[in-house]
């Protein structure tokens, strides 16, 4: 959007007086035309109307669903918001006219400029065979290897502390999630202090979808 303002300013015979950093900070874009000093692209206006139209997308159930479908299809956050406002050309224009500000605002809301690169596909029992978990040497570390598409994996360890405290039952604990790509591996660590460690299950996930694989 900053480049568009620069082009319009020069096409009108003016001289851009604002830098990209100034525009991204929300300052008004300055286009000097002789002594007139004309200005366009008021970022303060972006903080009102454009903000309202962006926030509406995240507050309306139908618009949010449209936004999410756009993101899953590979659209940028800005394009997905514009798609969710397709029924309202005036709202779209207010966002498009504040493109740089709008993208910065979306980033601040936790929506990265590019599409989320995590595979948001469905996962299920057939994906369990993609993962192998084996101990590494004599340490409490276990290597998690993936033979298929990118997955996030968390392991449920079980520990028996009966010898330390007969009144306590076996414990279980999920590890941190590790992201493992095809033919890649990462390590998880079993909890310290347990007399017996076993793997009870592991959770696989791709994007917002997950499945728990139970050990036989």
Instruction: Find the CATH number of the domain harbouring 146.
Output: 2.60.40
Specify whether 33 is located in the same domain as 79.
Answer: yes
Specify whether 7 is located in the same domain as 102.
Answer: yes
- Taking only the tens place, the pLDDT of each residue in 21-56 is 666 666 666 665 443 333 334 556 677 888 889 999
Domain that holds residue 204: 125-214
The answer as to whether 54 is a domain residue is: yes
Beta strand extents in the chain (DSSP E only): 15-16, 29-32, 39-40, 131-135, 141-146, 151-160, 171-174, 178-180, 184-189, 196-206, 209-214
The answer as to whether 117 is a domain residue is: no
**Number of compact structural domains in the chain:** 2
Specify whether 73 is located in the same domain as 6.
Answer: yes
Specify whether 196 is located in the same domain as 145.
Answer: yes
Specify whether 11 is located in the same domain as 74.
Answer: yes
Answer yes or no: is pLDDT of 117 > 60. Answer: no
Answer yes or no: is pLDDT of 6 > 80. Answer: no
The answer as to whether 189 is a domain residue is: yes
The answer as to whether 58 is a domain residue is: yes
The answer as to whether 118 is a domain residue is: no
Specify whether 60 is located in the same domain as 24.
Answer: yes
- Taking only the tens place, the pLDDT of each residue in 161-193 is 554 444 444 567 788 888 888 888 899 888 777
């Amino acid at each position: 959007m900053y480049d568009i303002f620069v082009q319009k300013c020069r096409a009108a015979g003016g001289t851009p007086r604002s830098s990209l950093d100034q525009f991204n900070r929300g300052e008004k874009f300055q286009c000097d035309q002789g002594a007139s000093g004309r200005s366009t692209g008021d970022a303060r206006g972006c903080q009102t109307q454009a903000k309202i139209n962006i926030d509406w997308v995240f507050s309306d159930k139908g618009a949010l669903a449209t936004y999410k479908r756009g993101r899953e299809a590979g659209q940028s956050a800005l394009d997905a918001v514009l798609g969710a406002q397709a029924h309202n050309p005036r709202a779209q224009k207010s966002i498009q006219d504040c493109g740089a500000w709008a993208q910065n605002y979306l980033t601040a809301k936790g929506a990265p400029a590019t599409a989320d690169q995590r595979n948001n596909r469905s996962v299920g029992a057939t994906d369990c065979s993609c993962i192998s978990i084996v101990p590494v040497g004599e340490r409490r570390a276990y290597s998690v290897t993936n033979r298929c598409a990118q997955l996030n994996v968390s392991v449920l360890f079980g520990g028996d502390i009966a010898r330390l405290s007969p009144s306590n039952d076996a414990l279980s604990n999920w590890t941190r999630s590790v992201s493992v790509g095809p033919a890649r591996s990462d390590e998880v660590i079993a909890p310290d202090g347990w007399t017996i460690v076993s793997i009870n299950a592991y959770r696989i996930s791709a994007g917002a979808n997950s499945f728990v694989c139970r050990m036989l």
